[in-house]
Chains A and B, each alone.
Chain A
Amino acid sequence: MVFVPDPRTVDVAADRGLWRSDSSAAISVRRLAKHFAQLEAVRGIDFEVRCGETFGFLGPNGAGKSTTINILCTLTEPSSGSAQVAGFDVVRERAEVRRHIGLVFQDTTIDDYLSAEQNLRFHAEVYALPAAVVPGRMRQLLEMVGLWERRNALVRTFSGGMKRRLEIARGLLHSPRVLFLDEPTIGLDPQTRSSVWDYIARLKRNEATTIFLTTHYMDEAERCDRIAIIDAGRIVALGTPESLKRHVGEDVVQVRTADDDAAMTALVRIFRVEPSRSHGSIRFSVPDGERFVPRLCAELGVQILTVSVMRPSLDDVFLAFTGKAIRDTDSSTPQTSRAPSPLSG
């Protein structure tokens, strides 16, 4: 089923000069800072999110994630600096920003004494969607999140995962340019988490929506195009998951060979790495494991039985940049003990 916009919406679109063409960034943040009475929550951050990108915003609790999201969603005014969302300034053009964003909150904001459909209908009215497009749009989204059959049931009877999916559908109802997902899968079981991510992936394909999300889960951060790590109000790292991992540490290559002694010698002589032996295999680290393996096979001169390459995980990235594990509760009490190095296991 293809979505056909109501002709009237075209007129509406014409007079509004929506989506400014001079800015290609979906979100652009400059020297953004916010201090409360006692606390400098955000201390001058800069970043850009490109259109269509899935951008992950990571940080320990209290690092400034929520404050940043609130500023971008026009719920909080920055103390200094500026931010644009969909090309509109979050302070001076709040109304415009609000028209272009969707928001899925951390905790449920769905009315549970209403049916799924009533919730969406109210939302459509608040956003003044043209009446002609609402039923079709509602159906598409409810089908996408697998709730079409339950559309008339009271939300009170829904499971946590169903509520979350309904919330995502609601956030998308008005085709936002930028969808903010604040911990979209928190408190969900692994199965539901993965189905929520399936929807997010589908969104990316079908709606051309830019997604800005915060998460505590490292495996979810891996799914983002780029991630920023914020700690104590500053962005301490920003890049693709791959580049951040590369930045943190080298890859570990583990090989088993027919003749380990010869292999050890050859590794030192030909590749100038520092191999070590453990549990019947040889391991060493190189900057880019995947590119290294073909060379290794071609030039080692010893029969190789198995090869594996291990990348540092994003957990390691997070730990390296913030000095604490991602699930620590409070950034004001930095944890000094570090998790075991990925290179040892």
Chain B
Amino acid sequence: MSNVAASPELLIPKQSFANDLRTIKVVWQRDLIRFWADKPRIFGSVGQPFLYFFVLGTGMSTIVPQTHGISLRTFLFPGVLSLSVMFTCFLSAGSIVTDREFGFMRVMLVAPVRRGAIVVGKCLGGATVGVFQGSLLLAIAGLAHIPYDPILMVTLLGELVLLSFMLTAIGVLVAVQVRRMQSFMAIMQLSAAPMYFMSGALFPLDGLPAWLAVLNRLDPLSYAVDPMRRAVMGRLGVPVAGLTWGGARLPLSVELGVVIAIALMAAWCSTERFERMN
């Protein structure tokens, strides 16, 4: 019988930044492999955006064919984009709950890795899947009369990344609080609909009643939808009312800054919660 390991010393080096990166990579990679192994999920994630696009866009166009002088389908495009990304990201984040109940996450929690690295890896994994799904919609943007302008596409793609990252981070924040998948789904269903409807994904932001305007400003999703609409409308040269604070139009940088800040805050809170988990 050979000597299996004549290594009295431990092989594991101390925690380092390189180690954090490796952890992020493992968590991220695993999420993608899992996504790829789950064929029904791929099918759903490919089909779902098209469903939203055609049903939402087409169905509502029959009531209101045009707004701001453009087709409703064009106006709704950023909203459809965020809707399809939202469910994907939340679902991705939810795997933390099942992982903790049944497997991988429990192993990770006893491993010598920083909790923050696990959270970041998870957010990146969800964001990647979300962006993948969003890109499918971008590919059919032409059907919504949106020109395939490279600058516009790159802008939308970049904003998609931020949107997906933020949504996954919010999902992760919920996922680390609960123990059961059912609780997670219940919370997400309860919050996803209001979050979506208040975000202005489906309506222009001018002339809202005061209460809705307030709710809209409090909704994190608003700050991700508006930049995308701004990009599309800007390219088409159609002026559309956007997000305002106290009557002043928010600059793009502030909107994106809010998205990033919310994402980081959610990731940080999740990490804290992870650290103190009993």
Residues of A whose CB lies within 8 Å of any CB of B are: 1-5, 9-10, 12-13, 15-16, 18-19, 73-77, 95, 98-101, 103, 105, 107-111, 113-114, 118, 122-123, 125-130, 133, 137, 140-141, 144, 174-177, 202-203, 205-208
Contacts and interface: CB of A to CB of B under 8 A. Distances in A.
Contacts of A99: 10, 12, 14, 112
B190 interface: no
A10 B4 contact: no
A170 to B, nearest CB: 8
A207 B102 CA distance: 28
Interface in B97-111: 102-104, 106-111
Contacts of A12: 11-14
A109 B106 contact: yes
A207 B11 CA distance: 13
B17 to A, nearest CB: 11
Contacts, number: 128
Contacts of B7: 3, 5, 9, 175
Interface string B1-31: 1111111111111111011001101100110
Contacts of B29: 122
A140 B2 CA distance: 9
B30 A111 contact: yes
Interface of A is mostly: loop
B186 interface: no
Given A113-B38, A206-B5, 10 more contacts: A2-B3, A12-B12, A75-B106, A76-B278, A95-B15, A128-B18, A140-B2, A174-B11, A206-B1, A207-B4
Q: Which of B6, B11, B15 has the most CB of A within 10 A?
A: B11
Contacts of A127: 11-12, 111-112
B33 A114 contact: yes
A177 B5 CA distance: 12
Given A126-B108, A175-B5, A202-B1, A133 B11 contact: yes
Which DSSP category, helix, strand, loop or mixed, fits chain B's interface?
Answer: loop
A326 to B, nearest CB: 25
A111 B110 contact: no
A4 B104 CA distance: 30
Contacts of B210: none
A126 B111 contact: yes
A75 B110 contact: yes
Contacts of B15: 95
A19 B3 CA distance: 21
Contacts of A122: 26, 29-30
B3 A130 contact: no
Interface in B236-258: none
